Structures are given as structure tokens and as C-alpha cells.
């Protein structure tokens, strides 16, 4: 028996690499509706690149704060499904994160202060039959539905863990007057996200002249809005995700620069 209380149904947010062509995402919603038909289900995205833990982590970490307290994030980017990797639920100050223990949950959860981590082992909250290839359907969606429905204490889901797998974005290599950065995301518009938060950029630049070099191209302008740039001009801008990005006015910066994730870029101060 699962001990449920009337807390009001917590929203469930789905983030997966399932895409929309197959039925996987729809089946998750069917499972949730069967267990907790009153739960509101929100699709954050099903467009994570297949098995791309870095991108899934980035999407989750930069989006979760916009959802109400108590939200249950069901995250399925799971290249290790069927292996010895654990399924976990992380309870934080504001949210619940359910998914595989492969690092995809770590950044978002740690940013929100982790309260406890549970290894999902209680089969009473799974579907009756658990496949080795679709834990999203058989384990994670049911667990998310039970939490949403009003699970009083998630300790009943399994044993507590002291830690889980951590995934960190690539580290910035710092020197006195330069930073070696890494491309961590490219959006559908071709904007290139770097592993440098806007506040870190401002602390480093301090209104000094700079040059950013990526794939042998130099960028020397930064703007606060896309409209400030000239047509076809490359520039730096603080994105809505709070990270710095390289953009090209009304065009695709990634295509112009032949850029891809994990490419390196160097930000250098000129007026030392």
C-alpha cells in the first residue's frame, strides 16, 4: 500500500528524448492518467537529442525554476536502460525529480538544494510488468503519478542514497586575461550557448574590450538585445537561460561558424 494524502495534485513535467514520431511520449501520459487522472501533465520537451545527457541536463536545469513548487519532473534520457544503473527520485526544496541515475537530474536538483535521494525499488509503485527497455513507462511515469497524486513520504519508494551520479557541464579553463570556454548547446535558431553564465561574463569583462575566438573567427561585440546588432553581425548576448551565447542577427550562427557542441572558444581581454 502507498500512503497517499490529499495535497492537491502536483503537476508533472515530462522531459524526454522520445521525439513525437513514435508513441513513447503518449504512452507515458496514458500511464499517468491511469494512476492519477486529475494530474496536470506538461510537456517541457520530447526533443532532447537521443541519449544526450548533457542536453537533457541543460534543458532541465535552465527550465525547472519556472514551475510551481511541488512539481514532479519525470525525466527520461536513459542510454543505460536495462543495465545496473539505478532509478531514483530526488526531493529538493521545491521539487521532485524522477528518472535514471545517470547525471541528467543532478544539475537541476543540486541547484535547488537536495533534501534526499531515494533508490526506486518498491515494485508496488511500478507497473505490474517491467520491461528492460522502457523504464519510462513501467517505473518512472508510475512513480511520478503516485507522487503527484499525493504520496505522503517518498521514503516508501525505496532505500535512501547518500549520493547520486553527478553530471557537470565542462569546466572553464581560466587564465589571468582569458577564459577557454565550451559550447554546451545549440538551439534551433543556431544560437550557440557557452558554458559561461552572464554574471560570470560581466565579472570577467568589467566593461573592457574583448575578443572571442571560435573556429578561427573573432567576435568583438556584445549586445543586450538581438535588435541592437546589424544584419549579418556576429555578437555575444546573455541568453534567457542566463548563459552567454553567440548569435548572428537574423541568421544561424552555428551554420556560419560550423560550430557543434563541445567546440572550444577563447574569450580574451584586449585592454590589459
For residue 264, is pLDDT > 70? yes
For residue 7, is pLDDT > 80? no
What is the model's pLDDT at position 4? Answer: 55
144 with 177, same domain: the answer is no
Taking only the tens place, the pLDDT of each residue in 189-216 is 999 999 999 999 999 999 899 999 999 9
61 with 23, same domain: the answer is yes
Total domains, the chain: 2
Q: How far apart are CA 158 and CA 143, in angstroms?
A: 11
- Domain holding 76, by residue range, is 12-161
Q: Which of 110, 141, 161 is the last residue of a domain?
A: 161
Global pTM value: 0.92
19 with 144, same domain: the answer is yes
Where residue 85 sits, what CATH number does that domain have? 3.40.50.10790
Tell me if 7 is assigned to some domain: no
What is the model's pLDDT at position 199? Answer: 96
What is the model's pLDDT at position 9? Answer: 81
124 with 41, same domain: the answer is yes
For residue 17, is pLDDT > 80? yes
Tell me if 5 is assigned to some domain: no
208 with 235, same domain: the answer is yes
Where residue 263 sits, what CATH number does that domain have? 2.40.30.90
251 with 125, same domain: the answer is no
Tell me if 3 is assigned to some domain: no
252 with 211, same domain: the answer is yes
75 with 208, same domain: the answer is no
88 with 134, same domain: the answer is yes
Taking only the tens place, the pLDDT of each residue in 20-69 is 999 999 999 999 999 999 999 999 999 999 999 999 999 999 999 999 99
Residue 102: pLDDT band (50, 70, 90) is very high
Tell me if 43 is assigned to some domain: yes
Amino acid at each position: 500500500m502507498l500512503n497517499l494524502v490529499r495535497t492537491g495534485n502536483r503537476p508533472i513535467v515530462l522531459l524526454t528524448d522520445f521525439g513525437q514520431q513514435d508513441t513513447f511520449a503518449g504512452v507515458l501520459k496514458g500511464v499517468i492518467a491511469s494512476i492519477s487522472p486529475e494530474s496536470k501533465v506538461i510537456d517541457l520537451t520530447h526533443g532532447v537529442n537521443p541519449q544526450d545527457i548533457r542536453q537533457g541536463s541543460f534543458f532541465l536545469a535552465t527550465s525547472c525554476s519556472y514551475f510551481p513548487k511541488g512539481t514532479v519532473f519525470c525525466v527520461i534520457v536513459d542510454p543505460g536502460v536495462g543495465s545496473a544503473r539505478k532509478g531514483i527520485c530526488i526531493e529538493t526544496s521545491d521539487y521532485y525529480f524522477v528518472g535514471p541515475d545517470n547525471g541528467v537530474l543532478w544539475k537541476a536538483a543540486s541547484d535547488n538544494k537536495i533534501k534526499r535521494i531515494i533508490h526506486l525499488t518498491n515494485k508496488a509503485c511500478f507497473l505490474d510488468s517491467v520491461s528492460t527497455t522502457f523504464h519510462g513507462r513501467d517505473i518512472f511515469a508510475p512513480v511520478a503519478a503516485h507522487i503527484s497524486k499525493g504520496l505522503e513520504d517518498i521514503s516508501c519508494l525505496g532505500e535512501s542514497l547518500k549520493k547520486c551520479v553527478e553530471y557537470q557541464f565542462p569546466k572553464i579553463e581560466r587564465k589571468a586575461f582569458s577564459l577557454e570556454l565550451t559550447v554546451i548547446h545549440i538551439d534551433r535558431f543556431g544560437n550557440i550557448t557557452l558554458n559561461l553564465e552572464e554574471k560570470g561574463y560581466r565579472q570577467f569583462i568589467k566593461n573592457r574590450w574583448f575578443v572571442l575566438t571560435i573556429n578561427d573567427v573573432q567576435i568583438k561585440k556584445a549586445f543586450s538585445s538581438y535588435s541592437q546588432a546589424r544584419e549579418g553581425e556576429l555578437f555575444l548576448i546573455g541568453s534567457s537561460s542566463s548563459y552567454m551565447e553567440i548569435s548572428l542577427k537574423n541568421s544561424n550562427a552555428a551554420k556560419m561558424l560550423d560550430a557543434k557542441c563541445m567546440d572550444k572558444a577563447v574569450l580574451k581581454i584586449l585592454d590589459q
